[in-house]
Amino acid sequence: MNTFGRTFRITTFGESHGRALGVVIDGCPPNIPLTRPTSSRSLTGAARGHRPSLAAQEADTVEILSGVFEGKTTGTP
């Protein structure tokens, strides 16, 4: 199961080492200030588990695809 919650639902998708990992957030009210992180510092916790000997190091980035307009949530997933 990859969907959690009832009123505020979070659904994850993707797979490790695939093209992307993502999340759909449904039930978020409109007009909440939200911006993309300016650095990947918040993502470094996941990278700590990587072994330094791995040949391919993956760059973790955040991309908000929908549900945000002019820095605020729109109320859509």
Per the confidence metrics, is the pTM higher than 0.85? no
How does pLDDT run across 20-35, given as a tens digit for each residue? 889 999 999 999 998 7
Q: How many helices (H) and strands (E) does the chain have?
A: 1, 5
> pLDDT tens string for the chain (77 positions)?
689 988 899 999 998 888 888 999 999 999 999 877 655 555 555 555 555 555 556 667 888 899 999 999 999 99
Burial track 17-32 (b if 16+ CB lie within 10 A, e otherwise): eeeeeeeeeeebeeee
Domain ranges of the chain: 1-36+61-77
- Using CA of residue 33, residue 63, residue 46, residue 21, what is the dihedral sign? positive
Q: Tell me the CA distances in angstroms from 36 to 3, 6, 28, 32, 61, one per residue in order.
A: 23, 25, 16, 13, 10
